[in-house]
Structure 1
Amino acid sequence: MSWGSGKGRICHEKASCEDHGSLEKPLKTESRNCLRCFRPKEHCYCSMIQAVDTGIKFVILMHPWEAYKQRTGTGRLTSLSLTDSEIIIDKTFDQNRRFRELLDSQQYHPMVLYPGKDASTAGAYDFKASLQGKKLLVFLIDATWVMARKMMYRSPVLQNLPRLSFDQSYISRFHIKTQPAEYCLSTIESTYYLIKELQACGIGFKDTSIEGLMQVFDELNRFQMECRNQRFSENAQKKGSP
């Protein structure tokens, strides 16, 4: 499915929250990778990313597999693009300390982006009655669809949060991955479309441009497609060699 600015946070399971600049030890990042965007240094995206403030807080609930194994995940790029965002890495969240802190805060009105019969669209939800001066906090689940369902099932508190879904239908532009269904989107696409729908309803900062999210996403697509085509070409040459 469906990290942040230099002031963002990444919270590891059974660990304290850390600044993005200190990822090398917990994630065992190889030195050839950028420690901020996790891309190879020769293809680092940090210079492309201009973090913006949407007036909405986003918290990415990231499965450990997505954090440590997935090289084409978009959760980190999503959070790097948003000033008020953070990542919590865990498999379940009801007992996660940072997750509970956010829920207990009187500063936020928490919701989760997740489909279902009880999910509301941005246009249908009564934000005026619900926010009451609080800031909207949206939890995004960053995992495969199978893992995301397990994360929800094993986290009843997360399950019971008000759910958001999309008012419109979107088709993923993630050409390097095969989505399980036509309506499935990457984390960065989900965030982009949700923000656009919320802005249209007057939630957050409506004049903030978020086109940078899709620009860095398109560059990820372009680079991975280039790498894939190169591998195909090299394999074809090897097969054709005597």
Structure 2
Amino acid sequence: MFNESDFLADLASIPPDPPFMRNVCNECHRPSTVCYCSSLPNPRLCPHSRIILLQHPAEEKRCLRTATMLQLSLEANKCLTFKGKRFPGRHDELNEILTEANTLLLYPSPSAVDITEIVKDSVHSSYNIVIIDGTWPQAKAIYTASPILHSIKQIKILDIDISRYIIRTQPADGCLSTLETAALTLSLLEKNGIYKNELLKPLQTMCEYQIQNGAVSHQSKEFRIKNNSYPKLIGKRLNKVLRNADSMRNS
């Protein structure tokens, strides 16, 4: 039964002003208090090669994704992003890129060659570097569902640093974020360490801000397992990822 007094009481409890909303940066879309734009290269970097991101739709929902940092750090035509679960899909421009002779796919398949071999025997002045942006299961699913990727020359990076994305737990010591992967690849292909140094600055800034505001530094799952500090049982999928990472380092 409708009760007028209860209805009026509910209306009276509604705050007269809208809830407080934090100011958000128009560039990185992070709250202004943790904006990393001051650490972005200025002017943006313009390498000879360009990065082609094949981004899983779920990546857009991640609040701490690094692909945005890459897009804001490079000239617009040097970092192209295509979203989907199967490629090229409806992206006509992408179909042309994927079939060009100077296109390389960064993917650790059995046929992938060390990127240093490409640098040593380079026959092109620039490359299209295709990187699948997503978790390892997402990347594997995209690769499996996109036959055109199987025909692209595939490369891998053997000499990998420990990830600087310290506020996120990586499966293994050799796993890098999208930004770190692109930075290291460009540094090697362009033979210029500025790409690694400058592209990683916003990531370092973001991690420092997060830690100052309560986040903690994370070791990889592989590190914690080896040091008996991983709190969970190791599932089949994680065990397979760790075996693959170990195999890559020893190949």
**Match 1:94 to one of 70, 88, 93:** 88
Q: Within 2, Cα distance between the matches of 1:186 and 1:129?
A: 26
Identity of aligned residues (%): 26
Residue 65 (structure 2) aligns with: 73
Q: 1:218 to 1:207 in 2, by over 3 A?
A: closer
TM value normalised by structure 2:
0.68
Amino acid at match of 2:113: S
User: How far 1:222 moved relative to its partner?
Assistant: 1.0
Q: Within 2, Cα distance between the matches of 1:111 and 1:65?
A: 24
Residue 133 (structure 2) aligns with: 142
Unaligned stretches of 5+ in structure 2?
1-20, 217-251
SS at match of 1:86: strand
Residue 201 (structure 2) aligns with: 215
Amino acid at match of 2:69: L
Runs of at least 4 residues off by over 6 Å: none
Q: Within 2, Cα distance between the matches of 1:157 and 1:130?
A: 22
Residue 11 (structure 1) aligns with: none
Amino acid at match of 1:75: A
Amino acid at match of 1:60: L
Q: 1:150 to 1:209 in 2, by over 3 A?
A: closer
Residue 4 (structure 1) aligns with: none
Residue 47 (structure 2) aligns with: 54
1:34-69 CA distance string (max 9 Å, x none):
3431211333222321221121111111111101x1
Q: Within 2, Cα distance between the matches of 1:40 and 1:88?
A: 26
Q: What pairs up with 1:16-27 in 2 under 5 angstroms?
A: none
When structure 1 is superposed on structure 2, of 37-46 and 69-78 the one drifting more is: 37-46
SS at match of 1:95: coil
Q: What pairs up with 1:151-230 in 2 under 5 angstroms?
A: 151-200=142-191, 206=192, 209-229=195-215
Residue 22 (structure 1) aligns with: none
Amino acid at match of 1:173: R
SS at match of 1:66: helix
Q: Within 2, Cα distance between the matches of 1:66 and 1:86?
A: 15
Q: 1:145 to 1:45 in 2, by over 3 A?
A: same
User: How far 1:209 moved relative to its partner?
Assistant: 4.8
User: How far 1:178 moved relative to its partner?
Assistant: 0.9
Q: Which has the larger radius of gyration?
A: 2
**Which of the pair is proportionally richer in helix?**
2
Structure of higher RCO (CA pairs closer than 8 Å, 6+ residues apart): 1
Q: How many residues align?
A: 191
SS at match of 1:228: coil
Residue 228 (structure 2) aligns with: none
User: How far 1:71 moved relative to its partner?
Assistant: 0.7
Q: 1:96 to 1:181 in 2, by over 3 A?
A: farther
1:93-148 CA distance string (max 9 Å, x none):
132313213235x6x611111112211122213775642x6x31001111011111
